[in-house]
Amino acid sequence: MQNIQELESICKTCMKCELSKTRTNVVFGKGNIKAKILFIGEAPGKNEDIQGIPFVGAAGKELDKLLNKIGLSLDDAYIANILKCRPPENRNPNNEEIKLCTPYLIEQIKLINPEVICTLGNYSTKLILAKCNPDNMKSIEGITKLHGKSKIIVLDEKEVKVIPIYHPAAMLYNPKLRETMSIDFEKIKEEINCEKKNKKNF
């Protein structure tokens, strides 16, 4: 794939899975395509589906606040989901959908070429730590155990630091997670500063 715009136009006409029949819009991604930090969520929700933009609802606002707290904005990051189309009633993605949609995410990661990937919630944490192989997701522990713990993995022959954090939507249902999320975002800040020290052009 030559560039992200080309990938986005291919993705926007995708009919590979059943979600193409119920979606309003394909939700490809948003942010700075040259960002060194990539956030990956699970799938678009209602507002994202209507607007065709990820993280525009209440969870998106929480993510913006958390980014701002550590001195970052969308100019510093790119945000995408595993699935590019909304599962009806916001149900969990199924294996088939993840398998069919993951090639788009793999291409997105290659083109954005991030130094740090922050996975938002269980599904993206398991998929990325399984090195984007949906068949290996079951062998990865859940977000409750992994949040806030960074790990370096090799994706497409390149080392990338992965930092799992809870999905911001989880905070809306469980306000007790608010403090945990703030602590985990501080860890993101530390890891980014550490990367900046190690790599001159971060």
Q: Which is nearer to ligand SF4, 14 or 155 (CB)?
A: 14
Regarding 85 and contact with ligand SF4 (CB under 6 A), the answer is yes
Report the C-alpha gap between 66 and 71 in whole angstroms. 9
Residue 153 CB, shortest distance to ligand SF4, in Å, is 23
Q: Which is nearer to ligand SF4, 20 or 150 (CB)?
A: 20
Query: In this chain, which of 8, 20, 52, 113 binds ligand SF4, going by CB under 6 A?
Result: 20
Query: In this chain, which of 97, 115, 184, 191 binds ligand SF4, going by CB under 6 A?
Result: 97
Query: In this chain, which of 83, 98, 137, 181 binds ligand SF4, going by CB under 6 A?
Result: 83
User: Quick one: tokens of 138?
Assistant: 């079951």
Regarding 105 and contact with ligand SF4 (CB under 6 A), the answer is no
Q: Which is nearer to ligand SF4, 42 or 184 (CB)?
A: 42
Q: Which is nearer to ligand SF4, 35 or 85 (CB)?
A: 85
Regarding 49 and contact with ligand SF4 (CB under 6 A), the answer is no
Query: In this chain, which of 4, 11, 35, 140 binds ligand SF4, going by CB under 6 A?
Result: 11
Regarding 17 and contact with ligand SF4 (CB under 6 A), the answer is yes
CB contact set of 59 (below 8 Å; sequence gap of 6+): 45, 167, 168, 169, 171, 172
37 forms beta bridges with 77, 116
Q: How many CB atoms lie within 10 A of CB 128?
A: 25
80 forms beta bridges with 40
Are the beta carbons of 121 and 63 closer than 8 angstroms? no
Q: Which is nearer to ligand SF4, 36 or 84 (CB)?
A: 84
Regarding 7 and contact with ligand SF4 (CB under 6 A), the answer is no
Report the C-alpha gap between 165 and 145 in whole angstroms. 10
Instruction: Using DSSP bridges, classify how beta strands 116-120 and 77-81 pair: parallel, antiparallel or unpaired.
Output: unpaired
Are the beta carbons of 7 and 106 closer than 8 angstroms? no
Q: Which is nearer to ligand SF4, 84 or 147 (CB)?
A: 84
Number of residues that bind ligand SF4 (CB under 6 A): 14
162 forms beta bridges with 117, 151
| Stretch (H or E) spanning 128 | helix 122-129
Give contact residues for ligand SF4 (rule: CB under 6 A): 11, 14-17, 19-20, 26, 83-85, 97, 100-101
